[in-house]
């Protein structure tokens, strides 16, 4: 069982930056898929970014169009931590952000979820 704990959320003005962290209870092994999702009030959860672990240092990444060029997903396996660097934040980025893990790879139903961290961007 993989446990995930997010941190790093907060309030920031538009154009600012935040870095979210997701501490994992174990190393993220080759073949795992790790992701960041967000959910705005009254809306469905949306996939923001994912990384497929082709090596212990990382692998291929994918981003939703609305964050391309602004957000970067990365992993530091030595620290057992997944990151989401968010730059040039916009009010529409306001949401609860969750990290997720799937030990079976990307494309299926995500196995494990964190409890979420709130990001609020003011204009």
- pLDDT-derived band at 84 (thresholds 50, 70, 90) equals very high
| pLDDT at residue number 107 | 87
pLDDT digits (tens, 9 = 90+) for 16-28: 999 999 999 999 9
| pLDDT at residue number 62 | 97
- What's the average model confidence in pLDDT over 58-66? 96
Q: Does 68 have pLDDT greater than 90?
A: yes
DSSP for the chain reads: ---EEEE--EEEETT--EEEEEEESS---TT-EEEEEEE-TTS--EEEEEEEEEETTEEEEEE-GGGTTTEEEEEEGGGTEEEEEE-S--GGG-EEEEEEEETT-SSS---EE---EEEEEE-
Whole-number average pLDDT of the chain? 96
């Amino acid at each position: 069982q993989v446990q995930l704990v997010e941190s790093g959320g907060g309030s920031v003005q538009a154009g600012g930056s935040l870095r979210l962290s997701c501490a994992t209870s174990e190393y993220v092994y080759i073949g795992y898929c790790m992701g960041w999702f967000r959910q705005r009030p009254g809306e469905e959860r949306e996939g923001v970014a994912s990384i497929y672990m082709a090596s212990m240092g990382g692998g291929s990444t994918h981003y939703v169009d609305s964050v391309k060029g602004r957000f970067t997903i990365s992993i530091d396996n030595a620290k057992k931590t997944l990151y989401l660097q968010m730059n040039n934040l916009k009010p529409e980025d306001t949401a609860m952000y969750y990290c997720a893990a799937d030990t079976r790879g990307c494309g299926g139903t995500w196995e494990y979820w964190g409890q979420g961290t709130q990001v609020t961007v003011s204009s």
